[in-house]
Structure 1
Amino acid sequence: MNKTERTSFFEVKPGFDAIRYLLSFGLLTLLARRARKRPAAMFVEISSTVDRHILSEGLFEKGVIEALHYVISRSGTTKLMIDIGANIGNHSVALAPLFQRVAAVEPHPVLFRVLEANMLRNRLPHVSCHNFGLGKTGGTVTLEESPDEHSISRVAERSMLPPETFGLSEQQFGNKYSIQLESAQDFVKQYADQLSETFIKIDVEGMEQEIIEALEPLLRQYRPLVGFELFTKAQPNLINIARSIPGYELYAIRVHDTGRSKIWRSLKLLFKGRENTLERVDPDKLDEVYPLVLMVPVASKLER
């Protein structure tokens, strides 16, 4: 080796780079120590908002999860959970201990592998994972997502949510995957003997109405507990469709973390925390977005 060849290679350069490394690695180490103490162990990617919530707090939407624990326990729907739009398994992992069986459905070819890994890591053998999407009809469609945010993806041909719903442009949905859709009715119908004691969670970024309509005959017959995400402006008829199905009362998990700016929301968080409430749905006074609207069977203990 002659004198002109390199013999040293910096992992961390002195000065600013060293300060950056010490601060960032130190902070991540503290978060990792907190994560190791939690009952749920999740594989996460720090670039995603959902994953950062999990890394920071152990779960995404902890208030929503707590409300679901309450509703599921009170309603007695504990035989089966069908998680339609499972993503990396946040809700499946958090709620699986309540159920005899869980079916987690996620069409994303990459996130599905993380979903499977999270079920294995948390030793949940009663959770089955299914790598396809659900809709009124089957077929091959395009799943598109933001390269910077894997928690934001939609089926291009079927979603009712425009890019502006997510604060993005059409061009920012740069990652595209060819995925398979299966019939929602056919998939759920295979569990018919358990549906009266089932919780169905639907979070599919703009295909909620399509899936509710596909499942309507089963909902009328078996009346499982159902929760669906709602963006009111983009899906104005969804509440009316849910209200038209007999045997249900509509509740909503409302998020009170609102405000015009991040600074305002941060101040509100500092002094009031982030509160979720479980309330009956008033169709004349709807919020712009609900993490879940709940179709609660009238005969459940929640309605007594």
Structure 2
Amino acid sequence: MPEMPEVEGLAAFLRGRTMGRTLTGVEVGAVSALKTYSPAPSALVGAQVSDVLRRGKWLDIATAGADGELHLLFHLARAGWLRWYDTVPKAALRPGRSPIALRVRLDDGAGFDLTEAGTRKRLAVHVVARADDVPAVATLGPEPLGLGLDEFRALLAPRKQQVKGLLRDQSVIAGIGNAYSDEILHVARMSPFALTSTLDEESARRLHTAMLEVLGAAIGQASGKPAAELKDAKRRSMRVHGRTGEPCPVCGDTVREVSFADSSLQYCPTCQTGGRILADRRMSKLLR
């Protein structure tokens, strides 16, 4: 799933290629991806791109046209991605015949597709007058890189939940998902199942520092890369996420996994859990 660093990279990529350009076509390839119906996607045709923003894990293409300001917002979910064309294929998009959910054409002949692989379709596209008209955007928590230590500790204090769950909760902190929460916890030397209510001042400071370091480095790595290279760059940068069975780059212990119904997490026992192996059963009593 694209997370904050990759979406920031995509926003910068699109900003450099679409700012000031006029949309000449918006074609829907998968009606299931379109979560709003008024205004219709066709209302974007003739509008000029005024900005491209990232909001958590959402991309927001702001436009100005005859109908005033409109926003094309999309969330790529688990299997979505953006495919850029310097020259968009001329053939009209045929709904249901490909993984393409949406195609956007620009006045210079360039444009992009939003694609989604697999059978579980979760990619979400909204056309709205204001970004906050999308409830999932309006309820986003603060951006992680803007959080000072005191603000971060204030987020932790009233909650009693597993720290990995807190990092992934978009209403608490915007932009962090499964992969980077694994990476942050590894750098912080903390179990994914530690409870926020048990974190002392030093642990909270360590977690905050790890969050800033991991996300800052990932954004730096994504900066300037074309859309086609962002996913591979993310995979190469992972220390533990997606590396089950490989040696930990810090201590050499074997990276372990806990599997759930539709996701998994990875961690290093030596670095994060005092050598203990976390139970790998979804409903089991997990070690902390």
Q: Name the TM-score class by shorter chain.
A: under 0.3
Structure number having the greater helix percentage: 1
TM-score, scaled to structure 2 = 0.27
